């Protein structure tokens, strides 16, 4: 199109994360406070049968009464548990977030003046011995108990779940209903559990105002995420973001459909101010369309670069912190670049809204050979608003056509009312275009 | 013109059902099947089939089986590289002519191609979850329709496999105390149905005797279950079939049966089928 002169590209990343409040385990509390898992962020680093899992935790509440029971696919030892850095997950979140890109139409009277500016605005939301004795008598062996950062970790080996459940009860933890059944099933599948409690003294010593993410490294054929326990103390649907870091390619679920969200779509200008609402409603609508049984792909990219970047790629150091064990700490530094470039790391961001009814089984994953880049990218094209020194009737007509097309697409993607959308669009030249679906009489008197 | 007797060849129905599934997959489910790969697979398969026919000195060139193999491969194989699609079709059809015991080829062509590529390249994979469970009803119906239309010729392989596999899934759920929605969900898998109706059912690579076929199908189900739920690896059924295929000549040596011929699917039992 001859009028299209892209002048300015600006990038606004709006975080569409909900407050992350959960692990994939279940919470237990001493006080009778209601604890709900609503959203969680999990980083899964996987190569061959080695896995490093990082579970973000934005738990808010009285930490002294809080513990979390986490299933792991295999038996683990104390060195396999670590406490990570929350900022790295936030960085990964920002890097992989759906992005809104802005283009400004150039002056339709000067065609070839080009100026490019790129703005990256990643707006971040930004008493053991006694216990051991009591445990033994319950048929639960506490194999190890120690402190990592602000957490007291208890590695339990319960022959049957009643032991674990009883031990939790005896220590005044409230167990979600139905937990016994799921715990039984996991034990039958060879899974093990550990309990993490907050050590308030250590926490105040360390000076953290929040709980840092827990990390576990293990070796197991199971490339999966146990989500069944998470539904137990959940109220309604839960959100889960999985960031998979692999050597070869995109990760997908093998027992649920993995679906790409609509992307590279032009949206009306007002979406800039309502991007979070737009994304939420679009996601909800796509979820419905897939009968609430699909896992959605939000980002798949080689971590050495990005285009456009919602945030800088992670440094080799950050990737090592997340457990990407196959890269060098120093990183393979690209001589032309100031930033250390991550090598052989492919990131997949999956987003799933689940409940027990639609997701009865745990999420099973596989790494595919697909290295095609994918990102959630939504485009705003601002019409030329300057003064025109020539006849721009034709330009305005083409802009109106584009605005109407964007309105209809937005309505079909989000389920928003087309009338409301049209009201928010300043149509070029002040004239609203006639849409094909509109009854002919609507425009006679207004 | 296709004569009535040729319509008795169940492969026509297979082509129809597989093409429909491919249509649904591409148009409604957006599977990420690349048309370049589909074309590459189809053309290569026919070329290798033609070459094999000439070299083996067979009386006539038969494109149907190669077409079915192409459709199965297109439905199941995922790769970004058309060269791998060409390799898959070559391995699939080539294996029919090269790996033979007692006048039968040993491996199901699509199966051997999928497994070879998955083992040798990290750029080829099978997306077993991509059918989703919403379309499964229609999918199952299409497959059952296929059985009815072909008058269930040699359907015992499919039925025995599905019964065996389902029994193990339900057994596992009961043993673990899981809700039955879990095995039901595990059975609602498009790739599993394609496998059961269009891969393991292949009369050319299953035992000649009915008892042999049932035993073979149960064995494949047990191995598939072991791979999937004891070793926790994806694509259990596809891997199980390739592992069990070498046993077919052994079963054939132990149990006598009739060699299957596509053109005369009911050659050994034509009496009760007259007037269809």
> A85-135, pLDDT tens digit by residue?
989 998 999 899 888 888 888 888 865 333 333 333 333 333 555 566 566
Model pLDDT, residue A127? 53
Tallying the residues shown for chain A, one arrives at 446
CA pair distance A147, A205, nearest whole angstrom? 13
- In degrees, to the nearest 5, what angle opens at C-alpha A426 toward C-alphas A425 and A432? 85
- Best probe of the B interface among A369, A370, A371, A374, by most B CBs < 10 A, is A369
CA pair distance B227, B232, nearest whole angstrom? 6
Model pLDDT, residue A120? 33
Q: Considering CB atoms only, which of A248, A360, A368 is closest to B185? A: A360
Residue-wise pLDDT for A273-294, tens only, equals 888 889 999 999 999 999 999 9
**Residue A339 tokens, joined:** 């930033």
Which of A63-77, A103-117, B1-15, B258-272: highest mean pLDDT? A63-77
Give the pLDDT band (50/70/90) at residue A139: low
Residue B223 has pLDDT above 50, yes or no: yes
Cβ of A255 under 8 Å from any chain B Cβ?
yes
**Residue B263 tokens, joined:** 């053109």
Q: Do B234 and A364 touch (CB under 8 A)?
A: yes
A410 Cβ contact partners less than 8 Å away, ≥ 6 residues apart: A267, A268, A271, A278, A416, A421
Using alpha carbons only, how large is chain A's radius of gyration in Å?
26
Q: How far is B184 from chain A (nearest CA, A)?
A: 10
Cβ of A370 under 8 Å from any chain B Cβ?
yes
Give the lowest-confidence range in A251-255, A348-352, B5-9, B56-60: B5-9
Q: Considering CB atoms only, which of B29, B122, B182 is closest to A369? A: B122
Helices B63-76, B35-56: inter-axial angle, 10-degree rounding: 150
Give the lowest-confidence range in A9-18, A40-49, A403-412: A9-18
Instruction: Find the residue in A nearest to B189 (Cα).
Output: A255
Instruction: Name residues 196-225 of chain A within 8 A of B (Cβ).
Output: 220-224
| 8 A C-beta contact, residue A43 and residue A150 | no
A283: closest CA among A271, A292, A273? A292
Instruction: Find the residue in B nearest to A357 (Cα).
Output: B181
Q: Considering CB atoms only, which of A188, A258, A371 is closest to B129? A: A258
CA pair distance A340, A320, nearest whole angstrom? 12
Give the lowest-confidence range in A304-308, A315-319, B254-258: B254-258
Give the pLDDT band (50/70/90) at residue A10: very low
B138: closest CA among B28, B221, B10? B28
Model pLDDT, residue A221? 92
Model pLDDT, residue A138? 60
Q: Which residues pair with A50 in a beta bridge?
A: A47, A219
Residue-wise pLDDT for B140-193, tens only, equals 767 776 776 666 567 889 999 999 999 999 999 999 999 999 999 999 888 898
Q: Considering CB atoms only, which of A220, A291, A360 is closest to B182? A: A360
Give the lowest-confidence range in A196-200, A397-401, B238-242, B256-260: B256-260
CA pair distance B132, A72, nearest whole angstrom? 27
Cβ of B135 under 8 Å from any chain A Cβ?
no
Strand order in the sheet with A363-367: A224-225, A363-367, A251-253
Residues of chain B positioned with their CB less than 8 A from the CB of A370:
32, 78, 80, 125
More confident position, B172 or A356: B172
> What's the predicted TM-score (pTM) here?
0.85
Give the pLDDT band (50/70/90) at residue A243: very high
**Residue A105 tokens, joined:** 């139409």
Q: Do B185 and A184 touch (CB under 8 A)?
A: no
Instruction: Compute φ and ψ for A4, nearest 5 degrees.
Output: -80, 110
Give the lowest-confidence range in A135-139, B60-64, B240-244: A135-139
- The single residue listed with the structure tokens 């739920």 is B229
Q: How far is B163 from chain A (nearest CA, A)?
A: 20
Give the pLDDT band (50/70/90) at residue A215: very high
Cβ of B228 under 8 Å from any chain A Cβ?
no
Model pLDDT, residue B178? 94
Model pLDDT, residue B52? 93
Q: Considering CB atoms only, which of A224, A260, A290 is closest to B132? A: A290
- Mean pLDDT over the full length of chain B: 85
The ipTM, to two decimals, is: 0.87
The phi-psi region of residue A219 (left if phi > 0; otherwise alpha if psi is between -120 and 50; otherwise beta) is: beta
Model pLDDT, residue A31? 42
3-state secondary structure string, A286-348? HHHHCCCCEEEEEEEEECCCCCCCCCCCCCHHHHHHHCCCCCCCCCECCCCCCCCECCCCEEE
CA pair distance B212, A333, nearest whole angstrom? 61
Looking at chain A, the whole-number percentage of residues with pLDDT higher than 70 is: 76
More confident position, A357 or B271: A357
Averaged over A328-342, what is the pLDDT?
Answer: 51
Model pLDDT, residue A242? 95
More confident position, A24 or A187: A187
Mapped onto helix, strand or coil, the DSSP state of residue A125 is coil
Residue B230 has pLDDT above 50, yes or no: yes
- The single residue listed with the structure tokens 């959630």 is A376
Residues of chain A positioned with their CB less than 8 A from the CB of B130:
252, 257-258
Model pLDDT, residue B129? 85
CA pair distance A93, A88, nearest whole angstrom? 8
CA pair distance B183, B173, nearest whole angstrom? 7
Q: Which residues pair with A20 in a beta bridge?
A: none
| 8 A C-beta contact, residue A35 and residue A21 | no
| 8 A C-beta contact, residue A42 and residue A53 | yes
Give the A:B interface size as CB pairs under 8 Å. Answer: 85
Averaged over B111-123, what is the pLDDT?
Answer: 94
Instruction: Find the residue in A nearest to B174 (Cα).
Output: A185
Q: Do A368 and B177 touch (CB under 8 A)?
A: no
- Mean pLDDT over the full length of chain A: 79
Model pLDDT, residue A428? 84
Model pLDDT, residue B247? 94
Q: How far is B264 from chain A (nearest CA, A)?
A: 39
Looking at chain B, the whole-number percentage of residues with pLDDT higher than 90 is: 51
Give the pLDDT band (50/70/90) at residue A168: confident
Looking at chain B, the whole-number percentage of residues with pLDDT higher than 70 is: 86
Give the pLDDT band (50/70/90) at residue A59: low
Cβ of B180 under 8 Å from any chain A Cβ?
no
CA pair distance A271, A413, nearest whole angstrom? 13
Cβ of B131 under 8 Å from any chain A Cβ?
yes
Residue A73 has pLDDT above 80, yes or no: yes
**Residue B93 tokens, joined:** 């059809």
Mapped onto helix, strand or coil, the DSSP state of residue A443 is helix
Model pLDDT, residue A121? 34
B265: closest CA among B159, B188, B152, B132? B152
Tallying the residues shown for chain B, one arrives at 276
Instruction: Find the residue in A nearest to B131 (Cα).
Output: A257
Q: Considering CB atoms only, which of B80, B129, B233 is closest to A370? A: B80
Residue A173 has pLDDT above 80, yes or no: no
Model pLDDT, residue A27? 56
Give the pLDDT band (50/70/90) at residue A1: very low
> What residues does each domain of chain A span?
6-380, 391-443
Cβ of A190 under 8 Å from any chain B Cβ?
no
Cβ of B80 under 8 Å from any chain A Cβ?
yes
Give the pLDDT band (50/70/90) at residue A46: very high
Residue-wise pLDDT for B7-19, tens only, equals 667 788 888 888 8
Cβ of B78 under 8 Å from any chain A Cβ?
yes
Mapped onto helix, strand or coil, the DSSP state of residue A242 is strand
B227 Cβ contact partners less than 8 Å away, ≥ 6 residues apart: B233, B235, B236, B239, B240
| 8 A C-beta contact, residue A300 and residue A3 | no
CA pair distance A83, A90, nearest whole angstrom? 15
More confident position, B244 or B132: B244
Give the lowest-confidence range in A48-52, A259-263, B192-196: B192-196
| 8 A C-beta contact, residue A294 and residue A257 | yes
Q: How far is B272 from chain A (nearest CA, A)?
A: 43
**Residue B14 tokens, joined:** 């297979």
Residues of chain B positioned with their CB less than 8 A from the CB of A374:
none
CA pair distance A378, A281, nearest whole angstrom? 14
Q: Which residues pair with A299 in a beta bridge?
A: A349, A375
Give the pLDDT band (50/70/90) at residue A208: confident
| 8 A C-beta contact, residue B214 and residue B257 | no
């Amino acid at each position: 199109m001859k009028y299209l002169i892209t002048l300015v590209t600006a990038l606004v990343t709006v975080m569409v994360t909900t407050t992350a409040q959960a692990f994939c385990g279940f919470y237990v509390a001493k006080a009778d406070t209601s604890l709900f898992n609503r959203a969680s962020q999990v980083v899964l680093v996987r190569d061959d049968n080695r896995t490093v899992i990082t579970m973000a935790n934005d738990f808010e509440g009285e930490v002294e009464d809080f513990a979390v029971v986490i299933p792991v696919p295999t038996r683990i030892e104390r060195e396999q548990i670590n406490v990570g850095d929350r900022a790295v997950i936030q960085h990964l979140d920002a890097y992989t977030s759906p992005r809104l890109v802005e283009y400004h139409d150039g002056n339709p009277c000067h065609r070839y003046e080009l100026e490019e500016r790129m703005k990256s605005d990643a707006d971040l939301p930004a008493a053991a011995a006694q216990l051991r004795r009591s445990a033994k008598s319950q048929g639960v062996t506490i194999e190890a108990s120690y402190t990592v950062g602000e957490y007291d970790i208890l590695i339990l080996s319960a022959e049957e779940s009643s032991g674990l459940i009883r031990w939790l009860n005896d220590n005044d933890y409230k167990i979600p209903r139905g937990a016994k059944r799921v715990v039984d099933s996991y034990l039958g599948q060879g899974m093990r559990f550990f309990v993490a409690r907050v050590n308030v003294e250590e926490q105040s010593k360390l000076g953290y105002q929040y709980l840092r993410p827990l990390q576990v490294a293990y070796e197991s054929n199971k490339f999966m995420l146990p989500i069944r326990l998470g539904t137990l103390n959940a109220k309604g649907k839960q959100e889960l973001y999985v960031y998979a870091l692999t050597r070869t390619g995109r990760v997908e679920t093998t027992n649920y459909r993995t679906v790409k969200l609509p992307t590279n779509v032009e949206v009306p200008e007002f979406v800039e101010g309502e991007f979070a609402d737009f994304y939420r409603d679009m996601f909800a609508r796509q979820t419905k369309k897939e009968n609430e049984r699909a896992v959605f792909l939000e980002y798949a990219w080689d971590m050495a670069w990005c285009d456009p970047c919602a945030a800088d790629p992670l440094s080799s150091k950050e990737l090592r912190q997340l457990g990407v064990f196959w890269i060098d700490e120093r990183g393979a530094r690209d001589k032309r670049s100031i930033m250390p470039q991550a090598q052989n790391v492919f990131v997949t961001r999956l987003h799933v809204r689940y409940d027990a009814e639609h997701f009865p089984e745990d999420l099973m994953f596989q790494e595919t050979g697909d290295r095609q880049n994918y990102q959630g990218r939504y485009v705003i094209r601002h019409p030329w608003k300057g003064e025109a020194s020539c006849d721009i009737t034709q330009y305005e007509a083409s802009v109106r056509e584009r605005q109407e097309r964007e309105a209809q697409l937005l309505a079909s993607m989000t389920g928003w009312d087309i009338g409301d959308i049209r009201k928010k669009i300043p149509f070029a030249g002040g004239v609203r275009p006639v849409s094909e679906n509109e009854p002919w009489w609507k425009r006679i008197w207004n | 013109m296709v004569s009535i007797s040729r319509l008795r060849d169940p492969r026509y129905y297979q082509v129809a059902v597989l093409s429909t599934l491919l249509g649904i997959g591409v148009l409604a489910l957006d599977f990420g099947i690349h048309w370049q790969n589909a074309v590459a697979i189809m053309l290569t398969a026919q070329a290798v089939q033609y070459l094999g026919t000439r070299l083996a000195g067979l009386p006539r060139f038969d494109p149907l089986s190669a077409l079915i193999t192409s459709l199965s491969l297109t439905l199941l194989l995922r790769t970004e590289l058309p060269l791998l699609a060409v390799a898959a079709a070559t391995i699939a059809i080539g294996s029919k002519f090269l790996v033979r015991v007692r006048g039968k080829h040993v491996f199901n062509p699509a199966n051997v191609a999928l497994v070879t590529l998955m083992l040798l390249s990290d750029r080829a994979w099978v997306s077993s979850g991509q059918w989703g469970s919403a379309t499964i009803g229609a999918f199952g119906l299409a497959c059952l329709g296929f059985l009815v239309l072909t008058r269930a010729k040699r359907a015992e392989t499919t039925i025995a496999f599905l019964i065996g596999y389902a029994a193990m899934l339900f057994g596992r759920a009961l043993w673990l105390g899981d809700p039955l929605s879990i095995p039901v969900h595990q059975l609602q898998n498009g790739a599993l149905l394609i496998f059961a109706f269009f891969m393991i059912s292949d009369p050319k690579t299953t035992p000649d005797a009915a008892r042999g076929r049932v035993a073979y199908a149960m064995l494949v189900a047990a191995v598939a279950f072991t791979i999937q739920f004891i070793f926790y690896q994806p694509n259990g059924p596809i891997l199980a079939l390739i592992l069990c295929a070498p046993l077919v000549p052994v079963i054939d040596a132990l149990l006598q049966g009739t060699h299957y011929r596509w053109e005369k699917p009911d050659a050994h039992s034509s009496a009760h089928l007259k007037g269809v």
